[in-house]
Copies of this chain bind each other. A is one copy, B any other.
Amino acid sequence: MTDTEAAAWWGTAVSRIEPDHIELRGIPVADLIGDITFGAMIWLMVRGDRPTARQASLLEAALVAGVDHGPHAPSIAVARMAATCGVGLNNAMASAVNTLGDSHGGAGQQCVELLDDILRAAATAPLADAADQVIAAWRARGVRYLPGFGHRFHTRDPRRDPLLGLVDQAVADGTVTGHHLKAALAVETALNRGRSRPVPMNIDGATAVIFAELGFPAALARGLFVLSRSVGILAHAWEEMGQGRRNKGPIPPAIRPAYLG
């Protein structure tokens, strides 16, 4: 065993750190500072290449849209409660980010997978039929709520239309192909057929369309959502710290949890 092996163990193409020299994805850090937006930097770091200005703008719109959904979201409530417990701001944020699991932060990832399934099926069938087939297959696997569609709180998620409007523009100017958008709209159509109450795309669906149109693999949809939601997590943790509670519980002290024993 030599240092070569230990060095190889930690080998990476993300960054190169030498004394007095830092390269990120092969670019000296001094060439990035002041030259690249934070949104474009996210793309560069995760994918290894620089986005065009239009690609970066579309990505940023998705990141902006997901920052917060208020204290009813477990991630936000956890951030606020943790912030009153005498831990660092980073620790409060970590406890919150940690809750963005399959149910709370994974719908975007799952929606990209759904759309990818549909596009594969659409290679040999009309898109509407492909959507029907894939939806039936997911239902057969026990999926009750299709990821990215419907909302327990909103009848129509107010983030859907502005996000899809931007995708329409991006299709029009050639930034993206629009294939995933069409697949997602086909799901909406299928879900709403014969229903009185529609089940429109939600934030996870609309951002999944954007991430997939931009070429991000499904698993990164969750990672990007974590970056987005971390902003709301920080804002809420910080506000809570200013309110001065100590060891804040989920309900006011005077309400006693029911005893079920």
Find residues 57-74 in chain A having any chain B CB closer than 8 Å to their own CB. Answer: 57, 60-61, 63-65, 67-74
The size of the chain A interface, using a CB distance under 8 A, is 128
Is B12 in contact with A239, judged by CB distance below 8 angstroms? yes
A32 to B57 CA separation, bound complex (whole angstroms): 12
In the assembled complex, the Cα of A42 lies from the Cα of B67 at a distance in Å of 9
| Contact assessment for A15 and B158 in the assembled complex, using a CB-CB cutoff below 8 Å | no
Residues of B within 8 A of A78 (CB): 78, 81-82, 95
Closest to A39 in B: B38
> Chain A interface (Cβ within 8 Å of chain B)?
1-26, 28-30, 32-34, 36-39, 41-42, 45-46, 57, 60-61, 63-65, 67-75, 77-78, 80-82, 84-91, 93-106, 152-159, 161-163, 165-166, 219-220, 222-224, 226-227, 230-232, 234-239, 241, 246-261
Task: Report 10 cross-chain contacts, Cβ distance below 8 Å, ordered by A residue.
Answer: A12-B259, A12-B260, A17-B257, A20-B154, A20-B155, A29-B65, A33-B65, A41-B67, A74-B85, A86-B104
